[in-house]
Structure 1
Amino acid sequence: MAYIVLVGAGNMGFAMLSRWLAKVDDTGSVVEPAVLHRCTVRAQNTFAVVEPADALRERAIKAGAHVYASADELPAEPRPDVIIIATKPQTVAEVAELYSSRLAPDGLFISVAAGAGIATIEKRAGRSLAVIRCMPNTPASIGEGMTVCCPNTRATAAHRAVAQELLTSIGRVVFIEDEQLMDAVTAISGSGPAYLFLFIEALSQAARAAGLERELALLLAKQTIYGASKLALESADAPATLRKQVTSPNGTTAAAMTVLLRPGNGLTALVHQAVSAAKAKSIKLREP
């Protein structure tokens, strides 16, 4: 059993915590709340949370964690096996310095803060330790997240297994070895949910402009995006093939595609620009 300390219980921190503390029955199936699934880490680990904000602290208490307002309140023993940094990127270095002496000798730092690089954590920690930088996304709150992890050279197979166990409970997990790719990961899967939410907004607004009432417009937009996303995930066909299957020659979809695929200012060009801007910001965030 591992002792795990989560530093920061904001949106992402709490999304992970709520999965880890899900109640399970004797078979390992989650029974409360019903929407949760695939979580077995509750019975195998002990969790503590450090969160200065009163409202967020109360939320973590209700989830079932041991909660503290600051690092000073943490018990001296036992020393954490894993410290997960889920704070704003600007405070990651400070957290690494503050908590490095509290981490067990063979312990692990996991950072889920966008933009904060491994070198920053290593430098401020002041000692050689295992670090795994991870980029999850907000669908983690329903167990459908996408998390990409990059370990430093001190992270062993056992450290990777711990991160895999924790993060698989919130969705899919992949490891990469080149940290430079984390900026692109952040721009795609980290920021990606916001792109889809914006598209749902735009599609529902267009539906209303086309004459549909508000609730129906939003339902059509949400379910269409959900269904199409699930089809893309489960189908053996490439997204381009699926798109062409919907697009009959000279039909309604083809008319829409002439707008969305317009060279220079169509949807593809806008997405490229958006991802480029997000990637550039991620690079800037990890600069010393």
Structure 2
Amino acid sequence: MSDVVLKDLSGPVVLLGAGKMGGAMLEGWLKLGLPPHLAVVIDPHLPDSVALALKARGVAVNPPAHVVAAPAVLLLAVKPQVAPDAVPQVAPLARPGTLVVSIMAGRTLAFLADHFPDGTPLVRAIPNTPAAIGRGVSVAVPSATVSTADRALASALLGAIGIVEWVDDEALMDAATAVSGSGPAYVFLLAEVLAEAGRAAGLPADLSARIARATVSGSGALLDASDLPAATLRQNVTSPGGTTAAALAVLMHEARGFGPLMEAAVAAATRRGKELAG
């Protein structure tokens, strides 16, 4: 379905910012069948080698504004701290019906509405870093002006880098960011501290790092492939009175265990997201 949506656009997809996340999305769109001539990249900091490679594929890179056709989509993928300067530079490209999708962390629908005409359909989304390998999660919230067709188009664009989940209450975006947006860092930290714990228990550091990394990635793959809840998979590994049970007694301690720590961590990230949003 996504390939059909992207092949039948009324105008180009204009991408503001082709860094790691924006670049991953662009690659996903092209693989899904977006005609290269319908892709426009605006990024003055794009390396020359990347710009030349994209132009060779038929993608327009930093064209003069007056030659850009009315966009079907304007996707904002710059860093949030430069948004106040960068967004006004591309806002005049929007025409009635142009869908604006933002993946700028902390930049609210109200921020977007201040830069575009009344009635512009706006989508705020937060993807995470596994998008780089097409395994990302994007949580998205629409403005009241987003139609069913707009939502399908946004889903197609975001779906090029992984799964898409929608919420109708923007207040949930900070918590969603704390879970999915920041979540990869929690998993990487798990691999990091598991390796260090193995070293402290006597394993050679390089061996401990390798098996910790493989264990975390393999467990994630098993979780993804299984229809069972995470709790059931955990229980399947745990023999009563065994080594895993002994470790889990520490990790699942009511007051000092992994659960209370993770709850506090997600709460801290959620609070910080609200602070950054102003």
CA, structure 1 residues 40+121, in 2 after alignment: closer, same or farther (shift >3 Å)?
A: same
CA distance in 1, matches of 2:122, 2:27: 23
* Residues 85, 95 of structure 1: 8 Å contact kept: no
Residue 184 of structure 1 pairs with residue 154 of structure 2: no
CA distance in 2, matches of 1:100, 1:276: 34
Residue 46 of structure 1 pairs with residue 38 of structure 2: yes
Q: TM-score, normalised by structure 1?
A: 0.84
Q: Letter of the aligned partner of 2:33 in structure 1? A: V
CA distance in 1, matches of 2:242, 2:51: 52
1:135 offset after TM fit, Å? 0.9
Q: 1:233 pairs with 224, 233, 248, which one?
A: 224
Can you list the C-alpha shifts for 1:34-56, whole angstroms capped at 9, x where unaligned? xxxxx41333872121223253x
CA distance in 1, matches of 2:33, 2:268: 36
Residue 128 of structure 1 pairs with residue 126 of structure 2: no
Q: TM-score, normalised by structure 2?
A: 0.87
Q: Letter of the aligned partner of 1:86 in structure 2? A: A
CA, structure 1 residues 11+259, in 2 after alignment: closer, same or farther (shift >3 Å)?
A: same
Q: Letter of the aligned partner of 1:187 in structure 2? A: A
Q: 1:79 pairs with 64, 70, 79, which one?
A: 70
Q: Which runs of 5+ in 2 are unaligned?
A: 1-8
Task: Describe how 1:2-151 pairs up with structure 2 within 5 A.
Answer: 2-21=11-30, 39-43=31-35, 46-55=38-47, 58-63=49-54, 64=57, 65-68=59-62, 73-151=64-142
Can you list the C-alpha shifts for 1:79-133, whole angstroms capped at 9, x where unaligned? 2221111112233344443322211321011000111110111023243301011
Can you list the C-alpha shifts for 1:10-33, whole angstroms capped at 9, x where unaligned? 221122123223xxxxxxxxxxxx
1:282 aligns with: 273
Can you list the C-alpha shifts for 1:207-261, whole angstroms capped at 9, x where unaligned? 2333334443233222222222232233333222221221112211111112212
1:200 offset after TM fit, Å? 1.0
Structure richer in helix, relative to its length: 2
Q: Letter of the aligned partner of 1:14 in structure 2? A: G
CA distance in 2, matches of 1:240, 1:202: 22
1:191 offset after TM fit, Å? 0.8
* Residues 18, 141 of structure 1: 8 Å contact kept: no
Q: Which runs of 5+ in 1 are unaligned?
A: 22-38
* Residues 37, 60 of structure 2: 8 Å contact kept: no
1:160 aligns with: 151
CA distance in 2, matches of 1:60, 1:222: 35
CA RMSD of aligned residues (A): 2.2
* Residues 72, 99 of structure 2: 8 Å contact kept: yes
* Residues 14, 60 of structure 1: 8 Å contact kept: no
2:202 aligns with: 211
